[in-house]
Structure 1
Amino acid sequence: MLQRTRNGKSRTVLVAGGAGFVGSHLCDALLARGDRVICVDSYITGSKDNVRPLLNHPDFRLIEADICEFDRIDEPLDQVYNLACAASPPQYQADPVHTMMTCVSGTGNLLSVAEQHGASFLQASTSEVYGDPAEHPQREDYRGNVNCIGPRACYDEGKRAAEALCFDMLRSARVDARVARIFNTYGPRMQPHDGRIISNLLVQAISGKPLTIYGTGEQTRSFCFVSDLVAGLMALMDVDPNPQGPVNLGNPGEFTINELAALVLAMVPTVSKMVRKPLPQDDPQRRRPDISRASELLGWEPKVPLREGLRHTADWFIATVGSDAERKPRSSTVRTQPVSPEMGMRV
């Protein structure tokens, strides 16, 4: 049965970045509940393979476009999700100017589209707005510790600027905008070579290569399985009234990178050992969300423990990548600058 809006019509949802890791899972979930989905993606970091099973779905439409150049849609919309941005450090640092413009100009374009249609808008922000936090765990009222001129600023400051745009549009009553601050997310459809810690370690273990640990490995992250995150995004979009502020979405379970690597080694049959390299600049030492606000406002909390989610993710990598795990993908036209690998997962 089709999901219905208040005016009785079927709901039409635009998902920018819908062919990406998180975006494709969101498209699946929206279609499963009966929405009509318009996926917009440039394939800079997304992949058509992620949505190929949906191409013959009668309620799915795919548009290839960069949101920096996208400012209109030819049919009514009820909701707009903005998940369009390179999300891992090697990807977003490869073309930092494009990353910044995607966050600022691209978000501005999508807000204008939402305004034109009277659609609700959800911005996928990130825990990176907290930088290398001096507060732990991180609450939404913490203003962060970001290096505004460092190599990660294109993403960190870009996402902060995108949040400012959203709340300016909300305060001026132009767009019903909501902001999710997403913490480390993982699951099937992650790109093997995107530079995120879970994909790095799994691909290295599957290939029998050394597992790379940056710094001491005692820095911490909190890992949220993709199905939990998607449920949180949809709950935040649909909650009434508007929360009027950002909402953290992530799993508060905290693990050191050494603990994560040990889990991978125990889970994947491999001859791999650990090797250590210097910690990249501005890499956060601790990262864990306070999700009290999401729990109170949305009734949301993650359900999939790391060991279970990691097993699903490992199985997907083994089945999908297998012996070709170390084969590098063809470079994109915008990824031209070499960058250092970095710990952590950004969304």
Structure 2
Amino acid sequence: MSNKRILVTGGAGFLGSHLCERLLSDGHDVVCVDNFFTGRKENVRHLIANPNFELIRHDITNPLFIEVDQIYNLACPASPVHYQYNAIKTIKTSVIGAINMLGLAKRVNATILQASTSEVYGDPEVHPQSEQYRGNVNPIGPRACYDEGKRCAETLFFDYHRQHNVDIKVIRIFNTYGPRMNPEDGRVVSNFIVQALSGQPITIYGNGQQTRSFCYVDDLIEGIIRTMNSSKGFTGPVNLGNPGEFTMLELAQKIIQLTDSKSKITYEPLPIDDPLQRKPIITLAEKELAWSPTIQLEEGLKRTISYYTEVLSRS
């Protein structure tokens, strides 16, 4: 694979920073764009000295004029705490941001990848979820700014592909975790680990029997890059996630065990429209990308706990 100039929007975020790091290690020139609403400079501070890395503060709801070969469009708050904080801004980022990045890809003839989400399936009535499932989303609920924003972005990607022959790739990301997740972002893995390490009660919403599938960040980044560099005829959408399925209670108990924590589990009401089940069918990724996750939950949790232990020791 020859050296490319690659744009990563949302590049200072949790996933974006890991993607930038990997692309640089693969020998590419990387332009990281972020408005730092949820992205953090410390996520990419170690990359600044790399001569092949460029950091631009920019909001993709405004057009960007730049010459690149590939675009990874990751820009958008991804945790409920952050995307509900400014719901209108969230949907603008998904929709107007997609239009701006697709326009850029069209102008410079770049391949563009959209980081979509398992949230396009909503609170699924089909389990597990394949790419053929069209979802069960409440279009007027508090999560709709994210769910429907991402669904509309997928529509835009396929319309630009059909109408303008833009080379697109669409991935649907299931729950992913690992180092650099913001400890304040309200996501379940970071919440549980921070609470366990701090000796606080571990908060489970609902009865703890709702399920999620957890993919370690390194596995996901490999899947993202394989999708971008897949054959020209393959557009996706393709599910990327770990098909291992765990209840919230199982996750909490596992983290208590791995941290040797004395934290007790407490229960709170389930938020509106919170999905009860989430598990990807990854047959398409296995077939088209020769990709499947390799890092098991316990190993990934150990690495993530080690990261948060260090972060909390500095605070």
Question: Do the aligned partners of 1:114 and 1:120 also contact (CA within 8 Å) in 2?
Answer: yes
Matched, 1:219 2:207: no
Letter in 2 for 1:11: K
Deviations 1:35-57 (A, max 9, x none): 11000001100001010011010
Q: Aligned partners of 2:161, 2:22: CA distance in 1, in Å?
A: 26
Question: Do the aligned partners of 2:171 and 2:236 also contact (CA within 8 Å) in 1?
Answer: no
Q: Which runs of 5+ in 1 are unaligned?
A: 5-9, 325-347
Moved more, 134-143 or 314-323: 314-323
Matched, 1:282 2:289: no
Report deviation, 1:114: 1.1
Deviations 1:260-299 (A, max 9, x none): 0001100113221000000001110110000000000000
**1:1-347 alignment, distance < 5 Å:** 3-4=1-2, 10-73=3-66, 76-322=67-313, 324=315
Report deviation, 1:323: 7.2
| Secondary structure of the structure 1 residue equivalent to 2:71 | strand
Question: Do the aligned partners of 2:167 and 2:232 also contact (CA within 8 Å) in 1?
Answer: no
Report deviation, 1:84: 0.3
Identity %: 54
Give the length in aligned residue pairs.
315
Q: TM-score, normalised by structure 2?
A: 0.98
Q: Aligned partners of 2:8, 2:274: CA distance in 1, in Å?
A: 30
Q: Aligned partners of 2:39, 2:157: CA distance in 1, in Å?
A: 24
Q: Aligned partners of 2:270, 2:107: CA distance in 1, in Å?
A: 45
Deviations 1:191-223 (A, max 9, x none): 001010000001111111000011110000000
Q: Aligned partners of 1:145, 1:322: CA distance in 2, in Å?
A: 42
| Secondary structure of the structure 1 residue equivalent to 2:276 | coil
Deviations 1:146-174 (A, max 9, x none): 00000000000000000000000111243
Q: Aligned partners of 2:88, 2:280: CA distance in 1, in Å?
A: 29
Q: Aligned partners of 1:242, 1:83: CA distance in 2, in Å?
A: 22
Letter in 1 for 2:278: R
Q: Aligned partners of 1:296, 1:321: CA distance in 2, in Å?
A: 41
Question: Do the aligned partners of 2:170 and 2:238 also contact (CA within 8 Å) in 1?
Answer: yes
Q: Aligned partners of 2:162, 2:79: CA distance in 1, in Å?
A: 31
Letter in 2 for 1:142: Y
Q: Aligned partners of 1:217, 1:95: CA distance in 2, in Å?
A: 28
In angstroms, what is the RMSD of aligned CA positions? 0.9
| Secondary structure of the structure 2 residue equivalent to 1:86 | coil
Q: Which runs of 5+ in 2 are unaligned?
A: none
Q: TM-score, normalised by structure 1?
A: 0.89
Moved more, 107-116 or 237-246: 237-246
